[in-house]
Amino acid sequence: VNDNLYGINLGLNAMMAVYDPELFAQAGVEEPSPDWTWEEYTNIVETLHNKLNIYGDFSVPQSGTHGLQYYLRQRGLDLYNEAGDGLAYEDDQLFVDFFKMDIELTRKGILAPMDLRTEISNPEQKLIVSKKSAMDSTIWSNQIVALESAADRKLKMMVLPKDKNQVQEGLYLKPSMFFSVTEYTDQAEAAVKFVNFFTNDLEANNILMAERGVPIASHIREGLKPYLEDVQKRMFDYINLAAKHSSKISPPNPEGHNQLGDTLTKLHEMMLFDVITPEEAAQEYRKKANEILSN
């Protein structure tokens, strides 16, 4: 349509912080509210660590590409420019500040060390499952069912911390996948019915059970509630909360995003192992971004 590709979203997910309310109570720490700030976050994870002698959090929220983009979005900026051929922020100090927070908390033992982080590849291995951390801020909403099942106890969900002077919400609702109908089909009516079945039919969604994210249609979300497990109901409630604390999603990632993401992962590891400084990493990241995205 008007030279743009559109699709109907099959489900919604959002970044979040997951925490163990029992461990918070043991530490005498007040549970976070939707308006908690980065300053409150650092105080909370430090207190949890000191009181319980476990990690306060797995890492800073989303730690890598998603975390950096979230941090930038709160300041009215973004990771990539509109053309997708370069970074959208000019001040590398923002990069430095975000990763310094992770490094400083990790050096104090408040967050998990990098060698331990690299060993964990699925929800069942998460430190919050074994009560080795009181929080995990690297989770997406569609992972909570598996995470809570592995933990075998009730966990709670909260939006990520806010900047006290933020320009906009850093959080956004992320589509899981899309349905599109080509303009060249001679079966347009049938194709639209097929998409509509997934979007607006309760029978279809009773089968899917939010496997691909929370349904986008509010009447379907309400219709599913009697059939949902408790953790799924809370996941639905979290998406409603996240929607109130979100801004418009960023444009689709440009070509080269995955390659640049790998670059940032390596730089992040090097920072945590004291191979390079955050300032050096920021410069190297910008250099690589210019090389990768310009091609």
For 24-69, write each residue's pLDDT tens digit: 999 999 999 999 999 999 999 999 999 999 999 999 999 889 999 9
Type of residue found at 273: F
- Confidence category of residue 210, pLDDT binned at 50, 70, 90: confident
d(CA 280, CA 283): 5
**Quick one: pLDDT at residue 157?**
98
| Residue 104 clears pLDDT 90, i.e. is over it | yes
Angle between helices 93-107 and 38-52 (to 10 degrees): 10
Q: What is the mean pLDDT of residues 156-166?
A: 97
* Residue 120 burial (CB count, 10 A): 16
- The DSSP line for 41-53 is HHHHHHHHHHHHS
* Residue 210 burial (CB count, 10 A): 23
User: Average pLDDT, whole number, for the chain?
Assistant: 95
Tokens 């900026």, residue located:
77
Q: What is the mean pLDDT of residues 176-197?
A: 94
State pTM to two decimals: 0.92
* Residue 178 burial (CB count, 10 A): 12
**Quick one: pLDDT at residue 5?**
87
Q: Distance between the two ends of the chain, CA-based, in angstroms?
A: 27
Backbone angles phi, psi at 162, to 5 degrees: -105, 155
Residue 59 CB contacts under 8 Å (≥ 6 apart), including other chains:
102, 106, 111, 112, 117, 137, 138
| Helical (H) or strand (E) element with 275 | none
Q: What is the mean pLDDT of residues 76-82?
A: 95
